[in-house]
Amino acid sequence: MRQRAFKAFALGGSLLLTALLGAACQSAQAEKVPVPVKVAAVEMNSARSEARYSATIIPRTQVELAFKVGGYVDALQRVRGVDGRTRDLQEGDRISAGAVLARVRQSDYQVKVKEAVSQADEAKSGVEASKAQHQEALNGVASSKAQLAEAEAGYEKAKLDYDRAQNLFASQSMTKANYDAAKAQYDMAAAKVAAARSQVVMLQAKADAAQSQIGVVEAQSRGAEAVVHERTIPLQDTALRAPLSGVVLEKKVERGTLVSPGTTGFVVADTSSVKAVFGVADVAVPEMKPGRTLSVETESLPGKEFRGQVTAVFPAADPKSRSFNVELTIPNPGFELRPNMIVSLKVASKEGAPAQPVVPLNAVMKGKGSPDGYAVFVLAEEGGRQVARLRDVKLGEAYGNTVAVTAGVKQGERVITTGGTIVTDGAEVKVIP
| Residue 425 DSSP symbol | T
- The CA distance from 43 to 216, in Å, is 88
Q: With contact defined as beta carbons under 8 Å apart, do 67 and 96 qualify?
A: no
Instruction: Identify the CA nearest to 239 among candidates 101, 97, 112, 108.
Output: 101
CA dihedral 344, 348, 353, 357 (to 10 degrees): -20
Q: Cβ(78)–Cβ(107) under 8 Å? A: no
| Domain 32-46+354-431 sits in CATH 3.30.2400.10 | no
Cβ proximity of 50 and 348 under 8 Å: yes
For residue 388, list its beta bridge partners.
379
Provide the mean pLDDT of the chain.
Answer: 84
Q: Is-contact 432 37, C-beta < 8 A?
A: yes
Q: How are beta strands 35-41 and 429-431 bridged, if at all?
A: parallel
pLDDT given for residue 49 in this prediction: 52
Integer Cα distance of 274 and 362 in angstroms: 26
Are 70 and 260 a contacting pair, CB within 8 Å? yes
Q: pLDDT tens, 108-158?
A: 898 888 888 988 888 888 888 888 888 888 888 888 888 889 888 888 988
User: What's the pLDDT score for residue 10?
Assistant: 39
What architecture is domain 50-103+247-348?
Beta Barrel (2.40)
Work out whether strand 71-76 and strand 342-348 pair parallel, antiparallel, or are unpaired.
Answer: unpaired
| Nearest partner of 428 among 395, 382, 394, judged by Cα | 382
User: Which pLDDT tens digit goes with each residue over 226-277?
Assistant: 888 888 898 999 999 999 999 999 999 999 999 999 999 999 999 999 999 9
The reported pLDDT for the residue numbered 349 is 61
Q: Domain residues of the chain, as ranges?
A: 32-46+354-431, 50-103+247-348, 108-236
The CATH number of domain 108-236, selected from 1.25.40, 3.30.70, 1.10.287, 2.30.230: 1.10.287
The secondary element (H helix, E strand) that includes residue 383 is: none
pLDDT by 10s per residue, the chain, length 433: 434 443 443 344 444 445 444 544 444 444 578 889 999 998 887 655 567 788 989 999 999 999 999 999 999 999 998 888 999 999 999 999 999 999 999 988 988 888 889 888 888 888 888 888 888 888 888 888 888 898 888 889 888 988 888 888 888 888 888 888 888 988 998 898 899 888 889 888 888 888 888 888 888 888 988 888 888 898 999 999 999 999 999 999 999 999 999 999 999 999 999 999 988 877 778 888 899 999 899 988 888 899 999 999 998 888 777 788 899 999 999 999 999 999 988 776 655 456 788 888 888 888 877 777 889 999 998 888 999 999 889 888 777 678 888 888 888 899 999 888 888 888 999 899 8
